[in-house]
Amino acid sequence: MGRLALEVADVFLAHGPAWRQAQRGHLSLTQLKVMSAIERCRSSALGGHVLRCAGCGRDQIAYNSCRNRHCPKCQGPAARRWLAAREADLLPVEYYHVVFTLPAPIGQIAYQNKAALYGLLFDIAAETLMRMRPIRSTWARASAPPWCCTPGARR
Ligand SMILES: [Zn+2]
């Protein structure tokens, strides 16, 4: 796979330090490690190896991957497989992307109580959708805010 014109790592490298400084106190160690992994992925910072073509002798440097589960470079193939599997499950109807968000004042509380607050948000979102449409939807269980794709078939 060739290099994309603009990658998440490019954005993090260009704006990450200022953003981290502005968000200091609001970012977890895990979030900081993810940003660092994405910035360093497939760069000389993680080392690499030289591949040599047996036919022409041409060398190619291949930098090591970060293998972080949030890295778009490392998880690209897995994401494409997941998407293809979800597409195979789709009904032949129109779908809507539904995102549940929190008002800003409650979002500030969520910084301190992520597990409890997002757990409640997922529960409320699921209950709301089940009341509206008692049919299967695809959920993003590990993301915040919660989102889903739900069929738009009329009753
Ligand atoms: Zn990576």
pLDDT digits (tens, 9 = 90+) for 130-147: 777 545 555 554 455 566
Domain match, 78 and 143 both = no
Q: Please check whether residues 60 and 96 belong to one and the same domain.
A: no
Q: In this structure, what are the phi and psi dihedrals at residue 95, rounded to the nearest 5 degrees?
A: -115, 155
Tell me, yes or no, whether 20 and 68 share the same domain. yes
Work out the average pLDDT over 81-88.
Answer: 89
> Domain check: are 112 and 81 in the same one?
no
Look at residue 1 and tell me whether its pLDDT is greater than 60. no
Residue 126 vs residues 64, 95, 135: alpha-carbon distances, Å: 40, 17, 11
Most confident of 38-42, 94-98, 149-153: 38-42
- The answer to whether position 3 is within a domain reads no
Question: Within a 10 A sphere around the Cβ of 153, how many other Cβ atoms?
Answer: 12
- The one-character DSSP state at 60 is E
Q: How many CB atoms lie within 10 A of CB 40?
A: 20
Would the pLDDT of 21 be above 90?
Answer: yes
Cα 20 to averaged position of ligand 1 atoms, centre (Å)? 20
Question: Separation of 68 CA from ligand 1 center, angstroms?
Answer: 6
Q: Does residue 118 form part of some domain?
A: yes
> Are 21 and 80 contained in the same domain?
yes
Q: Distance, CA 23 to ligand 1 centroid (Å)?
A: 23
Q: State the pLDDT at residue 67.
A: 92
Q: Which of 70, 85, 100 is the last residue of a domain?
A: 85
Number of domains in the chain: 2
Listed residues 62, 85, 108: the one ending a domain = 85
How many angstroms separate the alpha carbon of residue 71 from the centre of ligand 1? Answer: 5
d(Cα 99, Cα 129) in Å, to the nearest integer?
A: 11
Q: How far is CA 107 from CA 22, 39, 41, 122, in A?
A: 17, 27, 31, 14
Give residue 17 CA to ligand 1 midpoint distance, Å.
19
Question: Mean pLDDT across the stretch 18-45?
Answer: 95
Are the beta carbons of 146 and 97 closer than 8 angstroms? no
At 129 the pLDDT is 78
Is the pLDDT assigned to residue 127 strictly greater than 90? Answer: no
User: Do the domain assignments include residue 109?
Assistant: yes
Q: What is the pLDDT of residue 100?
A: 82
Residue after which a domain boundary falls, among 35, 70, 85:
85
pLDDT > 70 fraction of the chain, expressed in percent and rounded: 83
Going from the Cα of 70 to the center of ligand 1, the distance in angstroms, rounded, reads 8
Range 15-22 average pLDDT: 96
Let me know: does 134 contact 153? Beta carbons within 8 Å.
no
Domain holding 95, by residue range, is: 91-151
Instruction: Compute the mean pLDDT over every residue in the chain, rounded to the nearest whole number.
Output: 84
Specify whether 40 is located in the same domain as 65: yes
Residues 79 and 27 grouped into a single domain? yes
How far does residue 154's CA lie from ligand 1's centre (Å)?
A: 42
- The answer to whether residues 24 and 80 belong to one domain is yes
